[in-house]
Amino acid sequence: MADPAPSDFTDPAFLAAREAAMRAVPAPPDAPPWRPPSYADALRVSEKITSDYRELHRPDSMDVKPSEVCAALQQGGVKNWVLMGLHGYVGYMSDPRATQDVDVLVPYSQKKKAVKAILERWPTLVVAEMEFVVRFKDPGDLDEKAQPKVVIDLMLPWGALHEAIIKNCVSTDERTQLRIPTVEAALACKYAAMISPHRLRKKKLLDTADFTNIVEAGEKPFDEPTLRQLGDLVWEKGGEELVRFVEIALNDGQFPL
């Protein structure tokens, strides 16, 4: 007997049958909603997860915390900096998560001071200078290829979006005094990552979840003109699409990626 033809997983009949089968299964109970009361609390949760992971699974690694990186920059005389990546927008999320590296954006004029400040605080880190980023790697924490993992990315503005953020879209958290992107800037950065052809698919899935998390946790309407301005800095029609992405997230829709 010939083998049956493989299923077409994009066929509407297949998808309808799958939907019907899954609806026949009782839905699991949702976890109760929880959101940290402040950015400081969200950052503390994120830092604790990473620190516990390193203590249990990477005992030889350095436990570099975002708050410590920012303190080192301030002590080194770096005045214009922004905590980016997950640590920069974790306070906007309803469900904070963790990451192992710290991303900080500084202007080119502050690069030398920032590199010096970080190395004075963590002198054993391995430095790798690239065109738009200076990477600091931990020799005590190796990846699957036995290479030191990145623990700090000192980012430099490589496009109009990052230049606009560091000039006009910075908010200082009252409790921690950390400089973080505004919520509109955080959404624009996640949007840029989601549509980037250079980003791995598995990372885009995290970006999509983060974007949706930020939108759903919004306590007040986002500033649409600012979203449009920042989106247009990603690409010429990005502002319109970024606003549409916010609507998709609010309606639990499918992003066109």
Q: Can you tell me the distance from the alpha carbon of 123 to that of 125, in angstroms, rounded to the nearest whole number?
A: 6
Token pair for residue 203? 């990372």
Helix 183-195 to helix 201-217 angle (10° resolution) is 150
Rounded mean pLDDT, 59-86: 95
Rounded mean pLDDT, 78-84: 96
Per-residue model confidence as pLDDT tens digits over 82-115 = 999 999 999 999 888 889 899 999 999 999 999 9
Mapped to the 3 state alphabet, what secondary structure does the chain carry?
A: CCCCCCCCCCCHHHHHHHHHHHHCCCCCCCCCCCCCCCHHHHHHHHHHHHHHHHHHHCCCCCCCCHHHHHHHHHHCCCCCCEEEHHHHHHHHCCCCCCCCCEEEECCHHHHHHHHHHHHHHCCCCEEEECCCEEEEEEEEEECCCCCEEEEEEEECCCCHHHHHHHHHCEEECCCCCCEEECHHHHHHHHHHHHHCCCCCHHHHHHHHHHHHHHHHHCCCCCCHHHHHHHHHHHCCCHHHHHHHHHHHHHCCCCCCC
Query: So what's the pLDDT on residue 5?
Result: 67
Helix (H, G, I), strand (E, B) or coil at 65: coil
Q: Is 101 within 8 Å of 62 (Cβ atoms)?
A: no
Query: So what's the pLDDT on residue 2?
Result: 57
Rounded mean pLDDT, 155-164: 95
Q: Can you tell me the distance from the alpha carbon of 80 to that of 101, in angstroms, rounded to the nearest whole number?
A: 20
Query: So what's the pLDDT on residue 108?
Result: 95
The angle at the Cα of 21, spanning 16 to 23, to the nearest 5 degrees, equals 95
Q: Is 1 a residue whose pLDDT tops 70?
A: no
Lowest mean pLDDT among 30-34, 108-112, 147-151: 30-34
Q: Can you tell me the distance from the alpha carbon of 139 to that of 235, in angstroms, rounded to the nearest whole number?
A: 38
Average per-residue pLDDT in the chain?
Answer: 92
Quick one: pLDDT band at residue 27, thresholds 50, 70, 90? Answer: confident
Rounded mean pLDDT, 7-34: 81
Rounded mean pLDDT, 16-41: 81
Helix (H, G, I), strand (E, B) or coil at 242: helix
Rounded mean pLDDT, 110-131: 96
Per-residue model confidence as pLDDT tens digits over 162-199 = 999 999 999 999 999 999 999 999 999 999 999 999 99
> Quick one: which H or E segment has residue 129?
strand 126-129
The most confident of 12-21, 50-59, 106-115, by mean pLDDT: 106-115
Percent of residues, the chain, with pLDDT higher than 70: 96
Query: So what's the pLDDT on residue 218?
Result: 87
